[in-house]
Chains A and B, each alone.
Chain A
Amino acid sequence: MPTVEVTRHLYRFFPALENRTIRVPAGSVAEVLRAVDELAPGFSDYVLDEHGALRRHVIMSLNDTIVIDRKTLSDRVPEDATLYIFQALSGG
């Protein structure tokens, strides 16, 4: 099963995801996020907009490859992959 690594900034809102390994069934990025949402209800609202597209300042990568399809999240997450979810940098 693929692993999902989440920026620690999101633990503040979803403490259920902290201090654990997140493993969910393989599938598309959209399916993986739906599985994470079951572990932490409301999670997808933080990374996706109301159309299911990745928010503007959120980045995802499959291992070291940036997720290409930010709109429908169709990229495949293989069994042995890690999906990283993190935020674009900003300051001030």
Chain B
Amino acid sequence: MSNMILLGTRKGTVIFDRSNSTWIPRPIEHAGIPVCYAARDPRNGALWASLDHGHWGPKLSRSRDSGMTWEDVLSLKYPEGARYIVKYLPGPDFDPEAPVGQPEYKDATVFKIWNLAFGTAEQPGRLYAGTIPGGLFVSDDGGDSWELNRPLWNHESRGGNLFAGEATSENRWSGTPASIDYGVFEPGIHSIVIDPRDPLHLHIAVSSAGVLETTDGGQSWTGRNRGMLNDYMPNPEAEWGHDPHFVVGCAGQPEHLWQQNHCGVFYSDDGAMKWKKVSMPDVGVHFGFPIAVDAHDGRTAWVVPARADMERMAIGGGLFVARTTDGGQSWQSFRSGLPQENAYDIVLRHGLDVSGDSLCFGSTTGNVFLSEDRGETWRCLGHHFPPVYSVRFG
């Protein structure tokens, strides 16, 4: 049973401690600084916060004493020569059939450290960081130093090895709206799924490109988007251009992967070799951002659905959590303890987490809800937090 919950919020890091059945929030850390992701490394207990300074660039903050004190960690930096092909938001005159023009290159700068993942017990110093504009960084010394994973950066789906010169293939990665705050329209890595059985085996998810897999510790990457349906693109079954909002894997059954995508909920029971759309719009399960999977049963997952992308808020003013226990063949909605009138909450991609029978989520309206019966009933941990970007059990 977890005794800690970490929130990354627009105004800092909020840590809850469990005291018997009560969860007590501490005074906010990193006060006034947007924290887009906060989590605890289960291997050594270190706490991490990704600071999204508006002026001073993205920074990582680490606490080795359970949140009593925090230290700046060396900034992630793209190496000299790291370039990418610039993308622009499609304008009103966008023509998907138009021939591809000459690529425009730009030197890479870290805009956002969107999420962190901790390696397996066999690799005690290994951490991963996903960034906008689409670079995966790796540390093998507990986060003191970081290196760009070049095979992914140089992937043929991004134009090939731009360190070496001109693009050798077309850039199939598109931007994420989450990058617009930084004045760009570039891709971002927001999901990193490590196979607990094999530290060399990872899946990552990129908005907007899709899911990629490595089985050799990041030396090579393969797109894993078969079965995905991107219904707003000219070719819904295209290999690239998908917008997974978040991807998770079952720790006990790592071949079971889930994604809440812009275009629905998708499930794979074969390690993302093939995805299956398991949305059920008639019960409200389709659009949303976060998704969580049970640690032991890969067929059991939870989502916090939202009204379609045009509105992005609770459906009909009533907030609910949906759970499947049969791989998405059926969904059950739970509303007990959640507001059912005048609720306009939206839960972002890292805003839901599960630990054993407990689930917690936080919304951009500053509401935080906890369930201790696998999502069936909920209670509020507070209504007045800053907009919540991430929720993680510690």
Query: Chain A residues in contact with chain B, CB under 8 A?
Result: 9-10, 13, 42, 45-47, 49-51, 55-58, 87-88, 90
Q: Is the CB of A55 within 8 A of B57?
A: yes
Q: Is the CB of B182 within 8 A of A56?
A: yes
Residue of B nearest to A9 (CB): B55
Contact mask for chain B residues 106-143; partner A; CB cutoff 8 A; 1 contact, 0 none: 01011000000000000000000000000000000000
Q: Is the CB of B72 within 8 A of A13?
A: yes
Chain B hits for A51, CB < 8 A: 107, 109
Q: Is the CB of B78 within 8 A of A47?
A: no
On whether A57 and B55 interact (CB within 8 A), knowing A42-B72, A50-B109, A50-B110, the answer reads yes
Q: Which of B53, B59, B72, B109 is the one whose CB lies under 8 Å from A49?
A: B109
Closest Cβ of chain B to A44, distance in Å, is 10
Chain A hits for B110, CB < 8 A: 49-50
Q: Is the CB of A55 within 8 A of B55?
A: yes
In the assembled complex, the Cα of A45 lies from the Cα of B75 at a distance in Å of 7
Q: Is the CB of A90 within 8 A of B109?
A: no
Q: How many residues of B contact A (CB 8 A)?
A: 15
Chain B hits for A56, CB < 8 A: 182-183
Secondary structure at the B interface, as helix, strand, loop or mixed, is loop
Chain B hits for A55, CB < 8 A: 55-57
Residue of A nearest to B56 (CB): A46
Q: Is the CB of A57 within 8 A of B54?
A: yes
On whether A50 and B77 interact (CB within 8 A), knowing A56-B182, A56-B183, the answer reads yes
Chain A hits for B57, CB < 8 A: 45-46, 49, 55
Query: Chain B residues in contact with chain A, CB under 8 A?
Result: 53-57, 59, 72, 75, 77-78, 107, 109-110, 182-183
In the assembled complex, the Cα of A64 lies from the Cα of B324 at a distance in Å of 63
Secondary structure at the A interface, as helix, strand, loop or mixed, is loop
Q: Is the CB of A88 within 8 A of B109?
A: no
In the assembled complex, the Cα of A47 lies from the Cα of B75 at a distance in Å of 12
In the assembled complex, the Cα of A90 lies from the Cα of B10 at a distance in Å of 14
In the assembled complex, the Cα of A75 lies from the Cα of B173 at a distance in Å of 38
In the assembled complex, the Cα of A49 lies from the Cα of B78 at a distance in Å of 10
Which of A49, A50, A87 is most buried by chain B, counting CB atoms within 10 A of its CB?
A50
Q: Is the CB of A58 within 8 A of B55?
A: yes
Closest Cβ of chain B to A20, distance in Å, is 21
Residue of A nearest to B77 (CB): A50
Q: Is the CB of A87 within 8 A of B55?
A: yes
Chain B hits for A90, CB < 8 A: 54-55
Closest Cβ of chain A to B153, distance in Å, is 14
Closest Cβ of chain B to A42, distance in Å, is 7
Residue of B nearest to A58 (CB): B55
In the assembled complex, the Cα of A57 lies from the Cα of B59 at a distance in Å of 15
In the assembled complex, the Cα of A29 lies from the Cα of B353 at a distance in Å of 46
In the assembled complex, the Cα of A42 lies from the Cα of B77 at a distance in Å of 13
In the assembled complex, the Cα of A76 lies from the Cα of B323 at a distance in Å of 63
Q: Is the CB of B56 within 8 A of A47?
A: yes
Closest Cβ of chain A to B21, distance in Å, is 36
In the assembled complex, the Cα of A36 lies from the Cα of B338 at a distance in Å of 52
Chain B hits for A13, CB < 8 A: 56, 72
Closest Cβ of chain A to B155, distance in Å, is 21
Residue of B nearest to A57 (CB): B55
Chain A hits for B109, CB < 8 A: 49-51
The 24 listed contacts between A and B (C-beta, < 8 Å) are: A9-B55, A10-B56, A13-B56, A13-B72, A42-B72, A45-B57, A45-B59, A45-B75, A46-B53, A47-B56, A49-B57, A49-B110, A50-B75, A50-B78, A50-B109, A51-B107, A55-B55, A55-B56, A55-B57, A56-B182, A57-B55, A58-B55, A87-B54, A87-B55
